[in-house]
Structures are given as C-alpha cells and as structure tokens.
Amino acid sequence: MKKILSLGVLTVCGLTLAACNGANNSADNKKNESTSASQTKADDVYFKDDTLKIEMATLKILGTEVLPADENLFREKPQLAITYEVTNDSKEPISASTVWIACMGLTQEGSDTINKLNVGMTPQDEKFAEYTEHQLDDIKPGGTAKAIISYDLDDTETPVILKANQGMAGKELGEKTINLK
C-alpha cells in the first residue's frame, strides 16, 4: 500500500514539475527574446559530474548502492538506491522527488532488450533516515533538501544507464553509467 501511495505522490509531483517547466518554456518561445539571451539560458542547463542543472533546480547525486532483497524491509527484489540533494533555484516551492522523477530515467540492458527500471519501495534502512525524512516536503526558494530513490533490479551485474532530461518531455542533457559491482 505504501508503494502505491508513494508512486502516486511521485507521479503527481512529476506532472506538476513538467507543467511548470512547460509554462517556463512557453515564455522562452516569445519572438521578442534575443538570440543571445536564449543562448545563455541554454548554457545554464546541463548534466555533468553527477550534477543536473535545470532552470528550476540543481540536483547533485551523492551516492549509489545496490541493496539486497529483504522482505523485512519491504524489498521484494534487489534495488539500486540513489541518494541525492536538490537546491531550489526557482521562486516557488518544489520537492526533491518531483525534480528527480521529472528529469531522470534509468535503463538496463537485458539479453534482447533495453529495460526501463521501475521505481521501487523507498528504502526503510535506518542508515537512510536523513534522506527519507524530508524528501516529499516542499523546498523553499534557495533551500536544499536530501532525498533517496530506489529502482528494482532484475540483474545486479549489468550496469545501469541514467539519462537526465530537462523535465519529463524536455531535451536530453546527458547520461551516466552506474556500475553495480
């Protein structure tokens, strides 16, 4: 039940961020905006060195860890846990999980296909308490919050590819290979 609720909240948050990003993009398309201002704005969004910078926020990946399946911690499959922090660069409150869900996608190669990884149950391990405490809370403009997300793995050997986009339907900004071993 918690998993369904978490996924529902994250989906709503992701759609909210995508809508906000779309509103900002429509302003970008005005004819009276100069080319140089447009170029400067494009240079301000990127994904490199584990840092995603979009107009609304800056997301920094802090670490990754493969967690074994553990029924006592509600993990039916092994998971890739990713800790990160988000700084709100906008003038409106946002949540760390909204930024992640709207901008990041993970895949892993199967024998014949490339599989999109599904978000798993938030890790309940005590060592992640500082990341789960405020991950769904709104971050005030200029504030920073830590968070965690996990993805269910069928294979704990094959590397995972993380692709960063500028919002849910935005331009691809880069990718990172996460080695699981």
- pLDDT tens for each residue of 51-106: 999 999 999 999 999 999 988 888 889 999 999 999 999 999 999 999 999 999 99
pLDDT for residue 17: 44
- pLDDT tens for each residue of 137-146: 999 999 999 9
- pLDDT tens for each residue of 93-111: 999 999 999 999 999 998 7
Report the run of H or E that residue 95 belongs to, with start and end.
Answer: strand 94-95
3-class SS shares of the chain: helix, strand, coil, % to 5: 30, 35, 35
Query: Which backbone phi and psi does 5 adopt, to 5 degrees?
Result: -65, -45
CA-to-CA dists, residue 101 to 5, 73, 110, 125, 178, angstroms: 15, 23, 23, 22, 18
Query: Which backbone phi and psi does 171 adopt, to 5 degrees?
Result: -65, 140
What integer best gives the mean pLDDT of the chain? 82
Q: What mean pLDDT do residues 2-16 have? A: 43
Query: What does pTM read for this prediction?
Result: 0.76
